[in-house]
Amino acid sequence: MARSILNSNNVPVFDRSKMKKLFGTDGMRGEAGQFPLDAKTIRTVGSSLAYHLRQHLTRKPLIVIGRDTRESGIWLERAFIEGVTRAGGDCKSAGVITTPGIAFLTRDLPADAGVVVSASHNPYQDNGIKIFAPSGRKLDDETEHAIETDVFRGVALGVDSVVVQNESDFENNGHSLRARYLNFLAHVVEENFSLVGLRIVLDCANGAASNIAPRLFERLGAKVIAIHNNPDGRNINNDCGSLHTQSLQKRVVAEGADLGVAFDGDADRSLFVDARGQFVDGDGTLWVLAKYLHAHNQLNQGLVVATVMSNVGLEIALQSCGLRLLRTNVGDKYVLDELLSSGASLGGEQSGHIIFPRLSLAGDGLITTLYLFRALKDGGKKLHELTVGFERYPQLLVNIKIREKRPFSEFETIQKLTREIEANLGNEGRLLLRYSGTEPLARIMIEGKDHDKIAQYADHLAREIRNSLGAG
């Protein structure tokens, strides 16, 4: 296997200090066809992953791959498979499947890695690569850094002969792998779990859930009305799914449905609409599921893990039941890390990423929906009845353009005003001040019972930040 990193004069050319980070907290993501989401780079990523996996194995590495419904997914998946094969690995394609579906297959086969070609809730022009370890967790940082190094060095990783499966082989494998995941979901709650008598509307976002979600819930006996389940390669997330729930809310009411479910493009998140057409986000879902698990002695340590963006109303509601909320940085990666370190059994985000670490180390919109149905059936109540007790406090988000990201602690006027606001909010509000990780912005998030008061607080603080750090 060749590892070529030389220029025309046979001099090594690589400056690590100039290397950009390709993998974020949610894998690689960008515009399809542009670096790093071009065929050449993705081929290198596939080769690099297979190469580094081989260093720890005495056999060919096995990688399972799947994609959402974007038109670019087909050629990006093919480029990745070519790269894996050229580096001496084997690749099985599940075709169009959800991100948590690949996480499950990686663990269940087991494979040495799982790869999803998806940009989640982004528009169709974007795409991405997400890699899972055999545990179902996202790929470790060390291997990600090794892949990034290979990409920026232009490393050639390959073998002399390459044999790539034909399309019929891929389709046969894909059908079998998708059926394996569907069977797991059908029994994940309990054997013979039934949804007979329930009428549900599923918004599949024209994405990865378009086929499997209706099949799953029909198999369990529900009356299913599926919408936005006809992907054409370009309509994924387009005015539908978890980012655009208006049409789902109207349809639930029109159909007299018991529940509406909105998935995102890769179905690792789900948001809900109750029978009255009211929207229920990830915080509301965590509230319902926490109470259900606690009542069945399945909420470890009485603890729920969420992020700094979860509404303070959730924290207050949980406290009223003797339960605790533990906050992390934004990102399901951080939620999972805390779940594993604390031993908690439930965590998630406002966006609808909910994780049950006992079942899956990836957020799975289908599993979340199944467990919500279990809470509804066991409690004999409607969703709007189960959300009682959770009062969503008004929340304001303000972005301020800045010229530099100096620590807020260097500005006494900002610190003084922040302390005054926090004192005024007391236990019935919350203030979060941070910088954007990708843009020259300071972000204020403030919550409290009185909308007018928190708007006034946010305005005063924003004015002070502009005076001290504003871009002019």
- H/E element, 193: none
Q: Which residues contact 420 (CB under 8 A, 6 or more apart)?
A: none
The amino acid at 142: E
Kindly state the tokens that stand for 275.
């029978």
| Integer CA distances (angstroms), 233 to 118, 227, 369, 459, in order | 12, 16, 25, 43
Query: Look-up: residue for tokens 């986000």?
Result: 281
The C-alpha atoms of residue 25 and residue 296 are separated, in whole angstroms, by: 33
Let me know: does 262 contact 358? Beta carbons within 8 Å. Answer: no
The C-alpha atoms of residue 36 and residue 48 are separated, in whole angstroms, by: 14
Q: Which residues contact 68 (CB under 8 A, 6 or more apart)?
A: 96, 99, 116, 117, 118, 119, 207, 208, 236, 265, 266
Q: What is the CA radius of gyration of the chain?
A: 24
Of 300, 313, 298, 305, the closest CA to residue 375 belongs to 298
Q: Which of 48, 93, 118, 120 is catalytic?
A: 120
Q: Give SS3 for 381.
A: coil
Q: Which residues contact 238 (CB under 8 A, 6 or more apart)?
A: 123, 124, 206
19 secondary structure, DSSP code: P
What is the strand order of the sheet 270-273 is part of? 223-227, 199-203, 259-263, 270-273, 279-280
Q: Which residues contact 416 (CB under 8 A, 6 or more apart)?
A: none
464 secondary structure, DSSP code: H
Annotated catalytic residue 120 = yes
The amino acid at 42: I
- β-strand pairing of 324-328 with 303-307: parallel
The DSSP-derived string for 29-79 is EEETTSTTSSHHHHHHHHHHHHHHHHTT-SS--EEEEEE-S-TTHHHHHHH
Q: Give SS3 for 456.
A: helix
User: Active-site residues: which are they?
Assistant: 120
